[in-house]
Amino acid sequence: MTDRLALFDLDHTLLLGDSDVLWCDFLMGLGVLDRDVFAARGADIEMRYKAGSVDAAEFAHFYLSTLKGRTPAHWEPLRQQFLREQVVPRIPRASLDLVREHQQQGDLVVLTTATNRFLTTLTAEHLGIADVIATEPELIDGVFSGGTTGVLNMRGGKVTRLHAWLEQRGRQLVQFDSTAYSDSINDLPLLEAANHAVVVNADAKLSAIATQRGWRVLNLV
């Protein structure tokens, strides 16, 4: 029997929104971030991300700059508030049910996201997903530097990180019957690497590819 692997993107897939964008809006709303500094650039990066044209390093470092200069402990109360107020209300019942369905079938379920690990681990816990592959924020002397470590978990980096994650566990992707779920053209490499691609709440570019290739289309609302 072949083991099964379910790979879930997070933002606009299981979550009806983008974690990074919501985090910035949340902090601007509290006055922690200066709206005059962050709003216009954030909107530009979000637009280019949706188009699949933003530079991966620029994307990661912009959003991680929101954490820069403070420790995880400093951010923890706001991270918990963010989860309660901004994330949980945007996770539909259908997302939770789909994750549970794979788990009940005995599948290995992995959340793989371009958003940084600090923001996404609480979301993964709420979803009941233990295994997370995410962009790794850099800590220097216990303080967020605003940079990253390792391969960015974005576009082809998601495939690279997945192979490395499985190798650490003595496994290979070819040993699994794998299914990948995503909304974004940025995740085309991941969808192509899996045995089964499912597009969820998909953007226009990915929808067109899904139609051409006969991929399954799903809406989680």
Could you tell me the pTM of the whole model?
0.96
CA of 99: how far to CAs of 32, 104, 126, 127, in Å? 34, 9, 11, 7
- Report whether pLDDT(206) > 90: yes
Percent of the chain with pLDDT over 90: 95
Q: What's the pLDDT tens digit per position in 160-188? A: 999 999 999 999 999 999 999 999 999 99
Angle, vertex CA 68, rays to CA 64 and CA 69, nearest 5: 165
> Are 25 and 31 a contacting pair, CB within 8 Å?
no
Residue 148's pLDDT is 97
- Laid out side by side, the sheet with 108-116 consists of 143-149, 131-140, 108-116, 3-8, 176-182, 196-200, 216-218
Q: What's the pLDDT tens digit per position in 95-111? A: 999 999 999 999 999 99
User: Which pair of structure tokens corresponds to residue 199?
Assistant: 């597009």
As a whole number of angstroms, the distance between CA 139 and CA 31 comes to 24
Residue 221's pLDDT is 82
Query: Which residue in 200, 199, 189, 187 sits closest to 91, CA to CA?
Result: 200
Residue 102's pLDDT is 97
Where residue 113 falls (left for φ over 0; alpha for ψ -120 to 50; beta otherwise) is: beta
Q: At what angle do helices 72-82 and 117-127 cross, to 10 degrees?
A: 40
- Report whether pLDDT(17) > 70: yes
Q: What's the pLDDT tens digit per position in 45-86? A: 999 998 899 999 999 999 999 999 999 999 999 999 999 999
- Report whether pLDDT(207) > 90: yes
Q: What is the mean pLDDT of residues 144-150?
A: 97
Angle, vertex CA 19, rays to CA 13 and CA 24, nearest 5: 150
Q: What is the mean pLDDT of residues 10-24?
A: 97
What's the start-to-end Cα distance of the chain, in Å?
Answer: 33
Residues annotated catalytic, as ranges:
9, 11
> Are 5 and 178 a contacting pair, CB within 8 Å?
yes
As a whole number of angstroms, the distance between CA 106 and CA 101 comes to 9
Residue 2's pLDDT is 62
